[in-house]
Amino acid sequence: MLSTILVPVDDSEHAGRALEYALDNYPDADVTVLHVVGVPSMMMGDAVGLTLEDDLEEAAAERAESVFERAQAIADDRDREIETVVGVGHPARNIIDRAEDYETIVIGSHGSDWDRATRRFLVGNVAETVSKRAPVPVVIVR
């Protein structure tokens, strides 16, 4: 039985399904929801914008707030508790760097539709990269 699960999320439908899957299929596990902000883009807009903030951690937390509200609503519907964590930078790297603290990762097969072609060109598919490089098992949810 798994006791610790990392569920990386963004604002996509697939991320919501991944969290639902984790909560429904691992009822006794502690679930940590990770949202990474400062995603690289063609012009590095979000990442550069964060570096210009006076308080980087506070700015990252503010940008993650709406994603965590959605995650909390999913958890509340299942009467489950979740922990939330904000990462800054490259999503796949953040997930992989944290992976050893968990028994498995449950991740959506596709991220946000926003500028998907540009992000795929620059950073590749996050789920694919995580599944290839993570030191723990990875469940990919469609």
In this structure, which amino acid lies at residue 32? Answer: T
Q: Where are the alpha helices (DSSP H) in 26-125?
A: 45-51, 56-77, 91-98, 116-123
CATH code for the domain of 37: 3.40.50.620
Burial of 2 (0-12, 13-18, 19+ CB in 10 A): middle
Q: How far is C-alpha 93 from the chain's CA centre? A: 11
In this predicted structure, the answer to whether residue 108 has a pLDDT above a threshold of 90 is: yes
Q: What confidence score (pLDDT) does residue 111 get?
A: 65
* Separation of alpha carbons 11 and 23, rounded Å: 18
Confidence of residue 126 (pLDDT cuts 50, 70, 90): very high
In this predicted structure, the answer to whether residue 120 has a pLDDT above a threshold of 80 is: no
In this predicted structure, the answer to whether residue 30 has a pLDDT above a threshold of 60 is: yes
More reliable by pLDDT, 101 or 51: 101
Please give the share of the chain, as a percent, with pLDDT higher than 90: 64
Q: What confidence score (pLDDT) does residue 34 get?
A: 98
Is residue 62 within 8 Å of residue 35, measured between CB atoms?
Answer: no
Residues 54-83 have pLDDT tens digits of 566 788 889 899 999 999 999 999 999 999
Domain holding 29, by residue range, is 4-141
Please count the helices (runs of H) and the strands (runs of E) in the chain. Answer: 6, 5
Q: How far apart are the first and last CA of the chain?
A: 23
Domain count, the chain: 1
